[in-house]
């Protein structure tokens, strides 16, 4: 009944996009954890212009949530109220330049690294070790294996909540550890990354080393969501978690990875609530054991299964 009421309330007010859209669209299967409820309304805009026009015509009272590859994301079991926008095929182009490249927000980080390697551009190899897409990488200043977005970002184009398209320099975003200051409600649509000419063989070899290291140390073939907690200054999150005796800790089918303690995994039938409860249990144990507070790196969105806020 509630879903039907929402649909009736919104049908006459929502702009009509050129891309694909649906009410009560399941989201869980699209996440790396394979958990979570539905979006009240899910939009996959066709291109930047489609996105900008939709946002410009959208009531400012409606909440908007942006998701990308959903690799570092828990969608709660009650779903996501309002508008969920997922950037996909129309935002995945990659254009090579002599000293860098321009990529859409939906381009996968590994794909960007591979394009750069094929073009003999060095400096972007670290992206091959980051799951997810460029938009999310910019939004959280993602990093791994000695590099992070702040090292290579020249500029980013963002569609504002009012539909206005603007270009920002890396300095405008005040990039810091796992954080970027984006305009409120802004959607990253493409960015330019700087690189430099290099030896394709050496670039490929470095990427192979990163791949080997990831496969050896991380549960990359499990239903996981990447690094769960940020590293506190001067510490490694996984070491604190291990010290607190949380390696292998379970709540239902949610488990702390025995291979890498800073990864949560869904063993098959875990719910979003199980994963979030497990993460909070780990935080509590680490705080009690070490006095150090862990902060979530995984983004958690939506509402619990019971009731709607």
Q: How confident is residue 309, by pLDDT bands cut at 50, 70 and 90?
A: very low
What digits encode the pLDDT tens for the residues 79-106? Answer: 999 999 999 989 999 999 999 999 999 9
Residue 307: pLDDT over 50: no
Q: Cα separation of 143 and 111, whole Å?
A: 16
Q: What is the mean pLDDT of the chain?
A: 93
Q: Work out the burial of residue 34: count CB atoms within 10 Å of its CB; fewer than 13 is exposed, 13-18 middle, 19 or more buried.
A: middle
Residue partners of 192: CB distance under 8 A and separation at least 6: 97, 100, 101, 102, 153, 154, 155, 156
Provide the token pair at 57.
């015509």
Considering only 1-10, 51-60, 97-106, 262-271, which range has the smallest mean pLDDT?
Answer: 1-10
The pLDDT value given to residue 305? 82
Q: For the chain, what percent of residues have pLDDT higher than 70?
A: 95
Residue 4: pLDDT over 80: no
Which whole number is the average pLDDT over 293-304? 96
pTM to 2 decimals?
0.90
Q: How confident is residue 8, by pLDDT bands cut at 50, 70 and 90?
A: low
The pLDDT value given to residue 9? 72
Tokens 């305009």 — which residue? 183
The pLDDT value given to residue 232? 95
Residues of CATH 3.90.78.10 domain(s) within the chain?
221-301
What digits encode the pLDDT tens for the residues 219-263? Answer: 988 999 989 999 999 999 999 999 999 999 999 999 999 999 999
Residue 308: pLDDT over 50: no
The pLDDT value given to residue 263? 97
Check residue 132 and report its DSSP letter. Answer: S
Residues of CATH 3.30.465.10 domain(s) within the chain?
92-216
Q: Which residues of 198-219 are buried (b: 16+ CB within 10 A; e: fewer)?
A: beeeebeebbeebeeebeeebb
- Catalytic residue flag (residue 267): no
Reply yes or no on domain 2-89 having CATH 3.30.43.10: yes
- Catalytic residue flag (residue 221): no
Residue 11: pLDDT over 90: no
- Catalytic residue flag (residue 157): no
The pLDDT value given to residue 13? 86
Q: Cα separation of 130 and 117, whole Å?
A: 16
Spot the catalytic one: 71, 133, 150, 227: 227
Residue 64: pLDDT over 80: yes
Spot the catalytic one: 125, 148, 276, 297: 297
Reply yes or no on domain 92-216 having CATH 3.10.129.10: no
Residues of CATH 3.30.43.10 domain(s) within the chain?
2-89
Spot the catalytic one: 46, 161, 178, 214: 178
Provide the token pair at 120.
């003999």
Residue 149: pLDDT over 60: yes
The pLDDT value given to residue 5? 43
Reply yes or no on domain 221-301 having CATH 3.40.50.300: no
């Amino acid at each position: 009944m509630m879903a039907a009421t929402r649909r009736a309330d919104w049908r006459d007010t929502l702009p009509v996009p050129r891309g694909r859209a649906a009410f009560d669209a399941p989201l869980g299967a699209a996440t790396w954890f394979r958990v979570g409820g539905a979006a009240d309304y899910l939009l996959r805009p066709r291109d930047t212009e489609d996105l900008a026009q939709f946002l410009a015509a959208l009531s400012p009272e409606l909440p908007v949530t942006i998701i990308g590859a959903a690799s570092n994301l828990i969608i709660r079991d009650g779903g996501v109220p309002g508008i969920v926008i997922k950037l996909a095929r129309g935002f995945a182009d990659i254009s090579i330049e002599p000293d860098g490249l321009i990529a859409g927000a939906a381009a996968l980080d590994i794909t960007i690294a591979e394009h750069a390697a094929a073009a003999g551009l060095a400096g972007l190899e670290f992206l091959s070790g980051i799951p997810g897409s460029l938009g999310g990488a910019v939004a959280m200043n993602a990093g791994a294996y000695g590099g992070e977005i702040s090292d290579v970002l020249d500029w980013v184009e963002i569609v504002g909540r009012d539909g206005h398209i603007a270009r920002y320099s890396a300095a405008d975003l005040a990039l810091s550890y796992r954080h970027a200051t984006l305009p409120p409600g802004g959607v990253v649509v493409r960015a330019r990354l700087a690189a430099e000419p290099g030896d394709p063989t050496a670039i490929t070899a470095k990427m192979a080393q990163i791949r080997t290291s990831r496969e050896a140390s991380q549960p990359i073939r499990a239903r996981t969501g990447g690094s769960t907690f940020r590293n506190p200054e001067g510490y490694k999150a996984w070491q604190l978690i291990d010290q607190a005796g949380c390696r292998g800790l379970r709540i239902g089918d949610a488990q702390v990875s025995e291979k890498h303690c800073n990864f949560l995994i869904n063993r098959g039938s875990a719910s979003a609530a199980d994963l979030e409860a497990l993460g909070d249990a780990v935080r509590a144990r680490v705080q009690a054991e070490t006095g150090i507070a862990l902060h979530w790196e995984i983004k958690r969105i939506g509402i619990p299964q019971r009731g709607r806020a």
